[in-house]
Amino acid sequence: MDHTQTRGLSDLLRVRFKGVLDAIGGILNRLGISPTTLTVAGLMGHVLAAIFLARGSLSLGGLILLLLAPVDAIDGTLARIRGESSKLGAFVDSVVDRYSEMLLFGALMIYFANRYEKDMVLWLFAAAAGSVLVSYARARGEALGFEVRSGLLTRLERYVILIPALLFGFVRIGLVLVALLANFTAVQRFLHVRKQALMGAGQ
């Protein structure tokens, strides 16, 4: 199987901007900043963004998320430069990512619930469920030995939709898109694993 065809946008960007990320990672390493520090800073930044989102300051919350966007790529790069890459580090990073994303969806649920927009609360539930299932499908599939990197809307793509939606005032459209496409991606990954399993059974 050609794995280059199954890379997500985040993987492709890491390859394309490897030189830039390495340079930034080198600077942070010389400053004595650890990957764990970046991971915690990212989580705290999401907490701050969630507070603003829940209060209705959607553009400010979106701006904070935009400023946080490079952190997710740089912490992994920094861990590699420092020789600290490990399965535990990857596990912690993945768990923190899930918490960070759910903080945003929870904050937006509070915002729309306070405005009595029940339809948006339901769309947010669908977006959160789809986002978790995309990650779970990959984690569970890879634990069983399948390749599960394909799919239309991974975490980076969800943020690519969500951040501009918050900044430019089309948050409702953005959330509906995330809800629909995240669940579509979860189904994509389910079918991808099913296909591999059936092919393996037929060999």
Exposure of 123 in the CB half-sphere (CA atoms within 13 A): 18
Name the residue among 27, 30, 60 with its Cα closest to residue 45. 60
Token digits of residue 138: 């990959």
Give the number of other Cβ atoms within 10 Å of residue 180's Cβ: 15
DSSP secondary-structure letter at 50? H
Q: Which of 72, 93, 97, 119 is catalytic?
A: 97
Name the residue among 126, 142, 35, 133 with its Cα closest to residue 78. 35
Active site residue 11: no
Q: How far apart are CA 143 and CA 130, in angstroms?
A: 20
Which residue numbers are catalytic? Answer: 97
